[in-house]
Amino acid sequence: ERKNLAYVVRTSDNKQQQLVHILNSINGSAIVYVRSRKLTKEICELLLNNNISATFYHAGLEHTTKDERQKKWHNDEVRVMVATNAFGMGIDKSDVRYVIHHNLPESIEAYYQEAGRAGRDGEAAECILLFAQGDVATAEFFIHQSGDNNEALTPEELEEIQARDYQRLEAMVGYCKTS
């Protein structure tokens, strides 16, 4: 456990407004994690429209584009990186002050792994999870949809995977409601 990290869950019915408020209220480098490629661009545009320096990153971008955006963020030319979980491996930026999850992570373990990208320099940093009750229905939809893309699995294997995913979701919701 890293004592320099503060973990916060903020419940909000308007997560975009909450995100803009948070980023306008603080200084320092930030990562905003979202669950889809489409959202990386949408949230980035929201931030830019609110005069918050931002760029976005996901696995579908060209390699040179990913490198360019990561370099600009790493060199503090861009303050906020809006990204899917594809962003994170090999990040060596030590002065990330905020890791904000706009959507529920897939699991508690994924949350702590991604949140752990904050404050690697030992200075105080915050890990903020934005939570709305509608997040549960969205996550359930994704779990249900996962079966549509896994034709190679037997019905029993699919049922086992979805049961595990529902347990992970239940743990995340429990964390959000008790933190």
Phi first, then psi, for residue 176 (nearest 5°) are -65, -35
- The CB-side HSE value for 122 (13 A sphere, CA atoms) comes to 0
The pLDDT, as a whole number, for residue 166 is: 94
pLDDT at 173: 95
- DSSP three-state, residue 9: strand
* Average pLDDT rounded to a whole number, residues 15-25: 96
Q: Specify whether the backbone of 82 is left (phi greater than 0), alpha (psi in -120 to 50) or beta.
A: beta
Q: What is the mean pLDDT of the chain?
A: 92
Higher pLDDT, 158 or 46: 46
The pLDDT of 34-62, averaged and rounded, is 96
Mean pLDDT along residues 84-107: 88
Structural contact between residues 116 and 2, judged by C-beta atoms closer than 8 angstroms = yes
Give residue 85's pLDDT: 87
pLDDT band for position 77 (cuts 50, 70, 90): very high
pLDDT of residue 22: 96
pLDDT score of 144 more than 80: yes
Q: Using 50, 70 and 90 to split pLDDT, how confident is the model at 90? A: low
Whether 10 contacts 131, CB under 8 Å: yes
pLDDT reading at 96 higher than 70? yes
The reported pLDDT for the residue numbered 163 is 94
Mean pLDDT in residue range 9-36:
95
Q: Are 88 and 32 in contact (CB under 8 A)?
A: no
The better pLDDT of the pair 179, 7 is held by 7
- pTM confidence score: 0.92
Grouping H, G, I as helix, E, B as strand and the rest as coil, residue 25 is: helix
Residue 5 has pLDDT above 90, yes or no: yes
Nearest to 125 by CA among 146, 104, 99: 99
Cβ neighbors of 138 (< 8 A, separation 6 or more) are: 35, 103, 104
In the prediction, which pLDDT does 92 show? 79
User: What is the predicted pLDDT for the residue at 145?
Assistant: 82
Asked if residue 82 lies in contact with residue 73, where contact means CB atoms within 8 angstroms, the answer is: no
